[in-house]
Structure 1
Amino acid sequence: MDSESSTASRLKLQIKFSGRSIPVEIAGDTTIKDLKSLLQTLTNVLPRGQKLIFKGKVLSDESTLASSGIIDGSKIMLMASQGLHQGGGPVKKEAAIVPDSTRRKKETIKDSIVKSQVERWKATGVIALSDCGLTTIPEEIWTSVPSVRVLDISQNSYLEVPATIGQLRSLQKLHLNGNNLFNESIGWEGLTSLKLLTILSLSQNNLTALPSAIGALKSLKQLHIENNKLMCLPSEIGFLTELQVLKAQNNRIKTIPTSIGECVSLIEVDLSCNLLAELPETCDRLKNLKVYSPVF
């Protein structure tokens, strides 16, 4: 097999981590950086805390698997930096016993910080809580900042996005990427009621399917669902006629619905590293497409 065909092939790898072996199937031309993003969903270790070692050499983020000499069946060791886990939260030392007076003082300071934070959220309309080690969405968002326009709670450890997110009627950009979300973890009836939403990022989670209700997001311009476990896309995606960017690489998608041809505003589509054998003929209708990555 020549080097070009080897690069385009899919590789079955074994990732050694914490005494266990994690099977991964991925394209040979994938970069080490993208492999780390995929491993984040499987190990709950943030990419910046990962060190991948192959044959005694630390792999560079910019290199591809093929250029690093990695072949089908290779074994790669993953070492994680202390404190850079997500899912279970950062690794911390056992807390010491704190006197009541000190604890009350700290709680007062915390309340003051929260109040100041809420005021800033109200003034800017932007809530940025990325990579804060949170396991729940702060209740202050629903009760104090209903007019928020941008909500970024990416790279945390959320176990649930409640249907009450639908109360954020003014929300335009929602970033939920890099969390521990499953299909049932998301209150879709609330999320899909956000009529002004233009950007939705659900990448690097554990989703296996999108609901048909996603077609209700008629204002959506960017949909990021890469690095999940999606098997297919719902036919209702054809209702997203304003959609300009669709990132769905590194999933398990086998077929694309013919309704994709109705997404006439699409400019950029990435379907690489999936299980696609062919694309529907309706893709010919996407006249505005400039970047297209369907790699089979």
Structure 2
Amino acid sequence: MATESGGGPTTITVHVKFSGRSIPISLSPDATVRDLKSHLQPLTNVLPRGQKLIYKGKILVDTMTMKSSEVLDGSKIMLIASHGLHQGDGPITKDASSLSSSRRIVEANRTEEKKPKISIEMSQLDRWKVTGVVALSECHLKVVPEEIWACGEVRVLDISNNSIQEIPAKIGSLRSIHKLLLNANDISDESIKWEGITSLKSLTVLSLSQNHLATLPPAIGALTSLQQLHISNNKLTSLPAEIGLLSQLQILKASNNRISSVPSSLGNCYSLIEVDFSSNLLVELPETFGNLRNLKVLHLSNNGLKLLPPSLFKMCSKLSTLDLHNTEITMDILRQIEGWEEFDERRRSKHQKQLDFRVGHSAGFDEGADKNEGR
């Protein structure tokens, strides 16, 4: 910290916390909050108007100086980035323009540097109400903020990558929600109130991956609008039979669990396009897997599988990606399944350009070759 002859500092250094980083910024005590945001833009790729700076629990006002805001040398400031304003120096998108308008930002005399700018920004709660998007990923949260329940028409709630343990029943008050992202938290069976989640009849995407769940309740079948269910990296040992009621389900990702059997009712999920059961304890799949006529991608690596349902290749006529790496299923077994030739032709046709350098003109099937290819 540099000082003037009179004893006051000429520069101070503040530490801005953002996305797990601590960004040191040196500036004058007479610099404004707006000046600080300008320094942060190239370092964070967040436009100044998309930055909310919080110091000692209070939001810093753009027109105030570091001194008047009582920001001292060594102070720690938290930066929260507004959804849709991560454009850095690039053009502002339509979504960002809409957000800007909703904030009612009033700027006077843009081209005259000597005249001050007046900025009136909406509160975080108001912004959530206008956009319907509550984006609080990676905010070091331990509980769900109470302000969320007052938002009304929330379409998206993203509180992933935090340390949240409890999901209260009042989450059911978000009747209009379509996408609920709860992945990468500390949620266990005892701390999640399923009656709240299963009452969300408009929910299309539910992500609970990377938590500590050992069971899914039968009530999951009530989410009849669900299109994507992400439950990987938990401690699940089984799936409820009621999962077969999810007739709109297109993507089911349940890898890295302890699932030893799949309910035959899964064959009723006729809309399924992608299924991932890799890294579980499966030794067989139900015969009803052949009912999944729209299935295109099936990941089964790292299981104890010895056989596939005999109708899989014949009935799942769209299947073109199959990962059997580290299972006991051999090429001899695959060749004996009716419809193998047609499946192999689809697989080769889909991945010809991407896999030419790996498979060449070989007639062999690499059970793990399709693992990371796009759908």
Structure-2 residue corresponding to 1:134: 141
Structure-2 residue corresponding to 1:239: 245
Structure 2 residue 72 is matched with structure 1 residue 122: no
Structure-2 residue corresponding to 1:226: 232
**Deviation (angstroms), 1:111:** 11
- Identify if the C-alpha distance between structure 1 residues 254 and 273 changes in structure 2 by more than 3 Å, giving closer, same or farther: same
> Which of 288, 300, 319 pairs up with 1:282?
288
**Deviation (angstroms), 1:209:** 0.5
- Identify if the C-alpha distance between structure 1 residues 134 and 115 changes in structure 2 by more than 3 Å, giving closer, same or farther: farther
- Identify if the C-alpha distance between structure 1 residues 193 and 157 changes in structure 2 by more than 3 Å, giving closer, same or farther: same
Structure-2 residue corresponding to 1:178: 184
Across the aligned residues of Structure 1 and Structure 2, the Cα RMSD in angstroms comes to: 2.4
Q: Which runs of 5+ in 2 are unaligned?
A: 1-17, 22-54, 63-79, 81-120, 304-375
Question: Larger Rg: 1 or 2?
Answer: 2
Deviations 1:159-208 (A, max 9, x none): 10000000000000000000000011111001000000000000000000
Structure 2 matches for 1:12-23, cutoff 5 A? none
Q: Secondary structure at the match of 2:59?
A: helix
Structure 2 residue 59 is matched with structure 1 residue 109: yes
Structure-2 residue corresponding to 1:250: 256
Q: Secondary structure at the match of 2:134?
A: strand
Deviations 1:125-170 (A, max 9, x none): 1010001100011111102x12100000000000100000000000
Return the TM-score normalized by structure 1. Answer: 0.63
> Which of 292, 297, 300 pairs up with 1:291?
297
**Deviation (angstroms), 1:115:** 6.5
Structure 2 residue 215 is matched with structure 1 residue 209: yes
Partners of 2:60 and 2:221 in 1: CA distance: 41
Structure 2 matches for 1:10-159, cutoff 5 A? 106-109=56-59, 116-143=123-150, 145-159=151-165
Runs of 4 or more above 6 Å deviation: 110-115
- Identify if the C-alpha distance between structure 1 residues 111 and 246 changes in structure 2 by more than 3 Å, giving closer, same or farther: farther
Tell me the amino acid that sits aligned with residue 280 of structure 2.
N
Partners of 1:253 and 1:137 in 2: CA distance: 29
Tell me the amino acid that sits aligned with residue 252 of structure 1.
R
Tell me the amino acid that sits aligned with residue 200 of structure 2.
L
Q: Secondary structure at the match of 1:223?
A: strand
> Is the CA contact 2:19–2:138 (under 8 Å) kept in the aligned structure 1?
no
**Deviation (angstroms), 1:274:** 0.1
- Identify if the C-alpha distance between structure 1 residues 179 and 287 changes in structure 2 by more than 3 Å, giving closer, same or farther: same
Q: Secondary structure at the match of 2:123?
A: helix
Structure-2 residue corresponding to 1:162: 168
**Deviation (angstroms), 1:109:** 3.0
Structure-2 residue corresponding to 1:197: 203
Q: Secondary structure at the match of 1:260?
A: helix
Tell me the amino acid that sits aligned with residue 255 of structure 1.
S
Structure-2 residue corresponding to 1:57: none
Tell me the amino acid that sits aligned with residue 271 of structure 2.
S
Partners of 1:216 and 1:141 in 2: CA distance: 24
**Deviation (angstroms), 1:84:** 9.2
Q: Which runs of 5+ in 1 are unaligned?
A: 1-82, 91-104
- Identify if the C-alpha distance between structure 1 residues 227 and 108 changes in structure 2 by more than 3 Å, giving closer, same or farther: closer
Higher normalized contact order (CA 8 Å, seq sep 6+, divided by chain length): 1
Q: Secondary structure at the match of 2:180?
A: strand
Deviations 1:80-118 (A, max 9, x none): xxx999xxxx9xxxxxxxxxxxxxx84443799997111
Tell me the amino acid that sits aligned with residue 133 of structure 1.
H
- Identify if the C-alpha distance between structure 1 residues 190 and 111 changes in structure 2 by more than 3 Å, giving closer, same or farther: farther
Partners of 2:218 and 2:61 in 1: CA distance: 41
